[in-house]
Structure 1
Amino acid sequence: MREIRAKSGTNHEGTSAHNRRVMIDALRINGALSRADLARATRLTKQTVSNIIEELARDGLVISEDVVRKGRGQPSTPYRLVPEGAFAIGMQIDRHVTRAIAVDLVGNILTRAEVNLPPGGPATGITVILDIIAKVRGDLARVASQSEQRLVGLGAAMPGPFGIEGAGDDPWMMEAWQKFPLLEMLASGTGLDVGLQNDATACATAERMVGAAHGLDHAVCLFLGYGIGAGLILGGELYNGAHGNAGEIGMALLHGVGGTRTPLEHRASLASFYQHMEIDPADMDVYAKVTALASSDDPKVATWIQAAAEDLRWGVHLIETIFDPQTVILCGGTPPMLARRLIEAMQPLLPSIAERRDRPLPRLQLGMTDPWSVALGAAAEPISRAFDPRFSALLKG
């Protein structure tokens, strides 16, 4: 029997759930709004808005503020999201460290912890990861009494690409972790719904929730960490691709000396900086050491910046040509001083379709440069999955 392919339909429940998400999204982007403001912004009827507001208030997700009186018109009551309406935990698994973080509905960080991962890969690391999640979960329960009842899930983030064969001992890859049944182990060990993103998409999730991509429908986050990736915000949603590997721009091959081809991330990532400057990436003080070097006049640092900026300039050109974003946001675990020097060295950007005189946003801007940004994005993912408007939320099943 041949397979019949079709998109899933929706029903009244799907439409209601979508409208509910649209309302939450409007309040997240704009802050407090009245029912009349929400009706105009969402193009829903005033009755529909009133019904949803009442429902969200009963669920503890929105609350009214003091009545506002303007001129001779009718007074209005603004409504805002309740930060304590939902909580989520996010965790980052990197090559040498794991970080866990807890946030509320609007992205406030409530507690966090980090620990070095022991050698031995997932066989020894999974216990450490479950322990740090339990610690953050316990700390969250102490600062937010309703957190367990309102915990919507656990988000995990780690370097991609996923499902690539033959990576072997490539230091840029984490093949053992990618082959490990991570989601199953986390779900069984925590009892929570678990989602997985690559680190670039997680950073884009954080930028979308509380950073430079907040309120944007078309943005690409150029993630610069141990490796390089691109988190894609397309049409207001995060795009992951067929296998979770969309945006793996660090794997793009560049021509090198003698006709060789080298991946972009081997030439312009933090890992390449570590190699160039002979820094141990497992050093707990690595962030401070990179910051100090980036703040110095070391000619060896300047040489790396100039070469990396040339390659990243090409990366921005490629992103703009393919995705036509409102802006490209440089973000990730790169210390701010090094990120700023890279952006300066990348100027002027290569000509592209993004050159418009009426641009409201710069073609390239600096976003989060924080080692915690990936864990923050991982925590934002369950919040997004539960409350953000998305096409999949409309589908039956």
Structure 2
Amino acid sequence: MISTLRRLGANERRMLHEVRRHGSMAKADLARVTELSTQTASVIINRLLEEQLVRKLEVQRGRVGQPSQPIALNSDGAYAIGIQIGRRTLKVVLVDLLGTVRERWELAYASPDADQVFAAIEQQLARLLSALGPQAAGRLCGVGVSAPRNFGEWEELLRMPPVDAAEWGSMDIGQRVQALTTLPVSVAKDTAAACVAELMVGSGRGIASYLYIYVDTLAGGSLVINGWPHAGVHGNSGAVGSMPMRPAAGGGMPDQLLSVASLVTLEQRYAAAGLADDAMADGRAMQTPWLPLTQAWLAQAANAIAYAICSAACFIDLDGVVVDGRCDRALLAALLDLVDSELGRYNWAGAARPALLTGEVGDDAKVIGAAYLSLHASFAPLQG
């Protein structure tokens, strides 16, 4: 399947960005905010209407001046496929131009077997193409993939079979997915993809620069600077999971944040006590008999995350920090309350304490963010 969508120019991308940001806008307002002439804006809008990327809403009457007809994105104007290859789950979604999830599929496992994962991806790609039909499938702009950047590391903490760790550690995931489709494939670190989702539809929409922290099987993060995802030289900005904690007793190697603030460590606490280890996904985590174990984990995790936030704020003048996770929302709220309390114990003289916000996208942030990688590549304004 080859996309029938053409590559858009800079002004067309700016126009679509403003329509997305405002929900709908009249032609005159679009010309004003994009600083284009009325004639140029009209030509671009008519072209986007012809290509069905935008649509006209009902005429608005009763205001001063001529009636206006707002322009909005056409949800069926384009689609993207998102794939999250995780340490515990494989997820696949189909989203439309508005970012609405149209199809969702998930496979859970204890450890990712590469043959099983890519066979499942191939099946799901074929299923989605069939479900869309030839005409709609031609409006697919691409496939986005999110995966841990260091997939083969921390195998001891994860109790990952060495053969799986070695295979994933040496694999070019993008190349493997590209072999399954003729659509363009975009790949990003999983927490960077989740950060893109938060930037597009979550708490990040109103913040210029923020650190993003995602509490998952292994905790990690990403970074947004001046409204743009900041990947860094190695595509690994905001890697808070790897941040060293305070020096270990006896001069040993310091623990990393992910060793105390990850869900895998909470799972292991539950399992060691003979309890169901998936309780963090629902309300059981905050109930007896899981609650004492949860509280002990929360105390350590909050302390580590607050330390990371304070350290980051000293290097980058942040507007805020957004924290989200693959866990029950009550558990996440309890974590943020404790992080906020821990932040109050630091001396902020000479540094600005950033606002602490709860992420809004939640459990599917990484897979939705993966789909947004393709939408972003096709329709977002050109940076610089």
Give the TM-score band, short-chain normalised: 0.7 to 0.9
Cα deviation 1:270-325 (Å, max 9, x = unaligned): 11212233279xx8x82666641234472222121112111111122223333323
Q: How many Å separate the matches in 2 of 1:97 and 1:386? A: 27
Aligned residue pairs, count? 364
Tell me the CA shift for residue 242 of structure 1. Answer: 1.9
TM-score, length of structure 2 as denominator length: 0.86
2:265 is aligned with 1:276: no
In the alignment, which residue of structure 2 is the partner of 1:311? 304
| Structure 1: gaps spanning 5 or more residues | 1-13, 356-361
In the alignment, which residue of structure 2 is the partner of 1:148? 137
Q: What is the identity, as a one-letter code, of the residue corresponding to 1:54?
A: N
Q: How many Å separate the matches in 2 of 1:170 and 1:191? A: 37
Q: Where do 1:63-102 residues align within 5 Å?
A: 63-102=55-94
2:148 is aligned with 1:159: yes
For the 8 Å contact 2:202–2:361, the answer to whether it is kept is no
In the alignment, which residue of structure 1 is the partner of 2:204? 213
- Considering only aligned residues, what root-mean-square deviation do their CA atoms show, in Å? 2.7
**1:27/1:295 Cα in 2 relative to 1: closer, same or farther (>3 Å)?**
farther
Q: SS of 2:84's equivalent? A: strand
Q: SS of 2:255's equivalent? A: strand
**1:341/1:120 Cα in 2 relative to 1: closer, same or farther (>3 Å)?**
closer
2:368 is aligned with 1:376: yes
Q: SS of 2:318's equivalent? A: coil
Cα deviation 1:1-42 (Å, max 9, x = unaligned): xxxxxxxxxxxxx9x822211111111111111122112222
**1:146/1:315 Cα in 2 relative to 1: closer, same or farther (>3 Å)?**
farther
In the alignment, which residue of structure 1 is the partner of 2:48? 56
**1:119/1:373 Cα in 2 relative to 1: closer, same or farther (>3 Å)?**
closer
**1:136/1:71 Cα in 2 relative to 1: closer, same or farther (>3 Å)?**
closer
**1:337/1:295 Cα in 2 relative to 1: closer, same or farther (>3 Å)?**
farther
For the 8 Å contact 2:195–2:223, the answer to whether it is kept is yes
For the 8 Å contact 1:90–1:102, the answer to whether it is kept is yes
Q: SS of 2:245's equivalent? A: strand
Cα deviation 1:82-134 (Å, max 9, x = unaligned): 11111000011112320101100111010101113486732443212222333
Larger mean Cα displacement after TM superposition, 291-300 or 41-50:
291-300
2:302 is aligned with 1:302: no
Q: SS of 1:147's equivalent? A: helix
For the 8 Å contact 2:279–2:285, the answer to whether it is kept is no
Q: What is the identity, as a one-letter code, of the residue corresponding to 1:242?
A: V
Q: How many Å separate the matches in 2 of 1:248 and 1:305? A: 20
Q: How many Å separate the matches in 1 of 2:112 and 2:54? A: 46
Q: How many Å separate the matches in 1 of 2:57 and 2:168? A: 47
Q: Pick the aligned partner of 2:119 from 118, 127, 140.
A: 127
Larger mean Cα displacement after TM superposition, 236-245 or 196-205:
236-245
| Structure 2: gaps spanning 5 or more residues | 1-6
Q: How many Å separate the matches in 2 of 1:183 and 1:304? A: 35
2:232 is aligned with 1:231: no
Q: Deviation above 6 Å: which 4+ runs of structure 1? A: none
Q: How many Å separate the matches in 1 of 2:325 and 2:177? A: 24
**1:289/1:32 Cα in 2 relative to 1: closer, same or farther (>3 Å)?**
closer
Q: How many Å separate the matches in 1 of 2:362 and 2:285? A: 17
Q: Where do 1:183-194 residues align within 5 Å?
A: 183-194=174-185
2:16 is aligned with 1:24: yes
Q: SS of 1:372's equivalent? A: helix
Q: How many Å separate the matches in 2 of 1:333 and 1:317? A: 23
Q: How many Å separate the matches in 1 of 2:242 and 2:294? A: 24
For the 8 Å contact 2:193–2:373, the answer to whether it is kept is yes
In the alignment, which residue of structure 2 is the partner of 1:3? none
TM-score, length of structure 1 as denominator length: 0.83
In the alignment, which residue of structure 2 is the partner of 1:253? 244
Q: What is the identity, as a one-letter code, of the residue corresponding to 2:176?
A: M
